[in-house]
Structure 1
Amino acid sequence: MDRGMQRNSFYWLLFIGAAIIEVYFLSITLQYPMIGMNAVQTEDNRFFVAEVNEGHWGDMHNVEVGSEILRINGRPADEHLPLTKLSKIEKVSQMTLLTPDGESHFYTPYRAQVTYQIIYHILLPLSFFLCCFGLSLYMYRRKHHLRATEILVLFLLVMAIAYQAAPASSRGDFLSRIVNGTALMMTPLLYLQFCRVYFRSFPMKWLSSGMLSMLYGAIIAATGMEIASYYYTFLSEYTARIQLAIFLIFTVLIGIFLLKNYLQMKHTAFHTILKTLLMGYCLGFAPFLLLFLVPLLLLGEPIVPAELTVAFLLFLPASFFYLMVSERLIDVDYVFHRLKYYSLIAILPAVLGNSIFLFFESDLDLRSKSLLFVIFYGTITLFLFLKDFLDYRLQLKSFSEKYNYQSSLYRFSQKVKQVKKVKDLTLLLQYEFEDVLHVRETAVFVMDRESFISCEEKPHLKPMLAASGKLWKNVAHSPGDVLPCVDGYALVIGMKKNMYTLLWISPKTDRTGFTPDEKDWMRTLCYYTSILLENLYLIENLIGQLDQMIDTDRIHPSWLSKMLFTISERERSRLAKDLHDTILQEQLFLYRKLDTLRNELYKESKSQLDDSVIKKEMNTLKEHVLDSVHLIRETCNELRPPFLAEIGIGQALEHLIQRVQLSANFRIEYHLDDRPTDLDDEAAITIFRMIQELLNNAMKHSNATVVQLDVDISPSQTILIRYNDDGIGMEVNSMKNYYKHMGIYSIQERVHSLGGETTFTSTPGEGLQVEIVLPYLSHRIRHEQDVVDI
């Protein structure tokens, strides 16, 4: 194999290895949320929570500082490596803590990702890796014969791996820590190597090969120290800072070389290329250095989290990709001078804005003040930088076509996206009419079917509107109608029950009438507004109901519970039907084919050969298919009780109890009311689901030996369900924790949706007693209620 093929094989193996490493780091990040807690070890080998970092899992779950760590992942705390080696509580799937007040808490943070971590620990690193990986593949396939391309591919992959390894490293994975630190320190040196190869034909000065080897030696030493910290834990306090310091020194050193070469080549034809690299380098590394690394090393606390600043590293591959594939470069001097000019202009308004804000919020710490200034300064600079482009676009759309009615409708539709209140919508509509039609005055008023006028906005118009209202009396109106007034016109913009909402507009300032195009525009705008008003009224009504519900200390209204469970049952029914009509039928068909084939083979074996192995395998396949059919049928039965409407609630419950009795470790004593009923389908499925949940809860948690169940259905009065077991019981107050007792919560909500009551009685060791009282709902009563609701 020649040298070229060996290099080609090496880089393809590098791509595969990078993908494998990425999958490993991503799996660590997905599997374990970042707990964000540090621990301290006492002399008697006990571990206590020493710090809970803000915004991570521990903070979200209110873990108390000072809590003792008893067990992690089912083992004693002193056997958990991230805890003993790094004093970090990470890579946790199960954890038992003892709070300072003596309460024991069991946590299961396995795969319980926090939204913040999903964005900054999963989505951003994965997107960055895919971007770098894609750029590497594209450039290597296009220009793999160039040495600069090979180094650039290596740089992009190492940088992407360093980014993806950071979240896994923060979770206490030791391999990720080694890879993250090593890759981070290698990033600036690989950047330097790329520049050396890319500009080797130009008279530029870079680091010598000997100096470069020394820098790589420093990386090897720091990595060796990181590995040694696994065995000598006191080193872990220094390794991270040493690696960050090395990265800072390398980055600043290479930045100095870039700037020096740029100044040397400033008046040559290559200054644009160097300036592009310099801008990409500064935009990529400066936020990480100035907002995270330097404050961390000097102050002990960063201004901006690393997850945000590292995202700017994308400017590095972007600048490289641009140089490698672009045949015509943009005017970097223009962009650079504009950026420098607007950066200077933005200083004063940023200082003023920051000072005004701090005048009202003077209790912020230094980190928050610095972050606030960065936000002000960056926002103003970005806005000024895009000013020319924005001015051109805004003038083109908003001013040069101001009197184009189609453009006005588009502009109005864009503005109403931000409207949340009826008042804001009407004000926006008035402004649009005054701006486009040049009318003197507008006003919004309300009129009922008896022509009673209410105009709180401008009371002086009420006499004129009242006189005009007599002209419209007893006439039905619809949105968009233009009604003549004593002075001007009124347009219907909304209807709510017996009330009309109208917009009054005065005549034009030049006293000319409205053209047909203007009237069409007015009707269209008013009709569009009426739709928005209707939606806003519905939203306000819903918010009012929710506010009323909150004021009365209710979790949510019964109609909402009923709607949610109805949707759930419909989805269960659809899924059960799909399983029955597709997979189950395929399994039955396969079973029949196997049975036919088995019989044919059996006949042939009697006449020709004795192939016992084939018959045995066919019998085994047949049994597996039967098991699969049984499993699918049981799943369908769980999703939707079979023949509930046909056989009635009594027989359906009896079948359920018999099925549970086959797999349960307790005896079920039950009494079911078998009187014929006209029970509503929704009530029947609710009763079935509640009893199913009670029995499932008994199998999973109760450790009971006897379960007693009594269902009494009285068509003239109520439905009474009594449940009693002799299991381990529970604290009734703990049932307020919905996430630990979702079955109990589901029962409560189902009963609430039908207007019933639930009573739970239990103490630890005394079993559980449940009494449910439901109103009797027949098909006739349900129909009457639906008519009343309508």
Structure 2
Amino acid sequence: MRITFNRIFKLTLIFSIILAFYIILLNYNYPYVGASVKVTNENEMIITEIEPKSWAEKVGINAGDIVLEINNSDPMLHSPANYYGLLEQVSTIKVLENGIINEYIVPTSLFGYQSLFITIIPLTVLILSLFCIQFVYRSNKEVNLKSAHLLNIFLLVIAMAYISASGSSRGEVISRYINLTLFLLVPVSYLHFIHQYFMELGKKLFSFNFIRFGYLLIIINLLADIVLKMLSVSFDINRLLNLSSFLLLLVLTFVLKFAGLKKIRYSEQAYIVKILIVTNVLAFTPFLLFFVLPYLIFQKYVFSPTFLAAFLLLIPFSLVYQFLATKIYNIEFLLGRLRYYSLLAIIPTFIMVGIMLTLKESNPTFYPIKLSVYMYLTLVLVFYAKEIFDFRFRLKRFSEKYNYQDSIFKYTQSISKSSNLEQVVSELKQVIVDVLLVSKAYFIEVDREEHLTFIDVNAKESDYGPYVKQIRKATNEIGKIVEIDRGFVINVGETEDKSYVLLCLSILNTPRLTRDEISWLKTLSFYTNVSLENFLKIDELMQHLQRVETEGQNPGWLNKLLFSIEEKQRSNLAKDLHDSVLQDLVSLKRQCEIALVDVDVDSTQLKKQLSEMSSSMTKIIKTTRETCQELRPQLLYDLGLVKALNKLVLQYQDIVDFDIRLNTGNFTVNLDIDTQLNIYRIVQELLTNAQKHSKAPQVLIILVCIKDKIVLHYEDNGIGFDYSNQNDKTESMGLSGISERVKALKGSININTSIGNGVKIDVEI
């Protein structure tokens, strides 16, 4: 029968399940005792170490006790104790403590504190690994890739190495040899999988001879373990050989991957190798630093290997997540946050260690209470300091990935300083690349016939060619997002004859955009559209100015055009605020109110926080509505000029300390919307000037129609000013704007004022 990877994997799977049941049975029959022993020169077996919270500690066995019998027999005949130095596989034990002989019976049980790390977690790991394995197996049925079978074998190896460790920790011979083989096989099978995976991608990271060397080293360790036991050589020598070999294989893994990264650093696969290296560091470093190196140097370890082995789970699950679900998490964000939190944790670590040592030495009686109080206060200070750092450095983040709120703030700051369309587009592309899983962004213009009239100079046909249909589909509306296999297409702005589209691509397949990402992108597109319209209008105006003769310093048609552009900007911004920000705030307030209703009655602090949030959102909603009203007076469009002026006067009357009288008589003239807007802005500017400068107790505004003319009269009894002094423009800036508006309407303005005699202004249109 032909041996294939598929058959090897099935046999390995069956063997793994049988071994798991065997280990469970062993754990039940011989619960974990948690004691180490050694034989002295006087041929006595002495207990040398008791593991914290183990059964041995619980029943009162102490280091230094002499073991008299194990399972009603001579302890020297008990192989786990005599060779491995482990007081395990014990049913009964008799020890001599301070001249008193104590006999203990070890109860059979599957549950206990030690069983969490020895039985429950390893079995959970096996179940999760089997779940991942069946997912990989089903995904690989059609393509039948060798790398997928190797990945499944690696998943089984790491799961069974973890499970067999519990049998090995009891000194059981079969479990010992299986665990030794699988323990060393973890880095070797990992290298084998990576080598095959990249070979199938057309990249050779390293020679297969290194993998052969790894398999040979496993065989050497296994044979050495058998031979040294037959020769009755101390088990410590075996352990040193095994750990040294494991260390060598891990170093080899790191070196080969760094060398492989150097080979392919300019290819798309370099990104994956980076992720593999970081995953290796996170998974293996705790095991190396806290067990392997301390034992090789001092023959002692900091943490138990069964606890540290849990970090190895990062490798299989990150591999499945990355390579099979095609969802690559961002390595730069991960590294950035690790650097950030590592820096923040340095000082609190020293403070906590100092507190623990000081309290334990000064007053051991109340040590737990005092420690809890100090730890609580320290953590409060740490969290408070973190909030300050996050705010202070919000524009200097280690990584901008997924930093939606601060990125919008930075983007608006950047485009406010932009002077042309190219700078706005460049800032937009940069912020999307920084925040989302996007590596390239291309700007494309599409006309109304859906022809691509302009394509980013950096874009190749292979980049945008497969997505022309999606690009055309995105031109329907501003903020329209069309997702593709490697990213998305978004409409960031449009004019009467063109749409402006951004094609955003990743080097690998990306998951679907989340709701937060879609909302963030739409907000960016609305901001961008306003800026694009501004710059396009300015460009059109400058081109037109070059083709016509100058009509004086400020031609009437130019003023009218500028005011029209200004009103359009105000209107667009008001719509954007109302349709996006305001609606989101209202929705958030409603959710807060619902949470207030549903929250537990006893949750006083939470209710207080939610109430404060609701109150704050109400103020923000009110302010936003007032801003929208000021930017775009909706009442003017709906009910006309007179109603809008009455509403404007009422709004000002609430915030000023002078009396305002408005007389519109029977003003019923039908005016076009531009004229109504200009009159409305003139009155608005007059009231603003009165509020800032006049110090008048009374203001009178009259709007009437006399024959074919519209007359607007303004009068206040304030301090007035010297309008004839042309050198002081501070107070006349508002009046200058009013004059320009009147000029755009082809009207006339007469200003009568002097210091101490108030202001009178007559406008005729």
Q: TM-score, normalised by structure 2?
A: 0.48
TM-score (norm 1): 0.47
Q: Point out the structure with max Rg over C-alpha.
A: 2
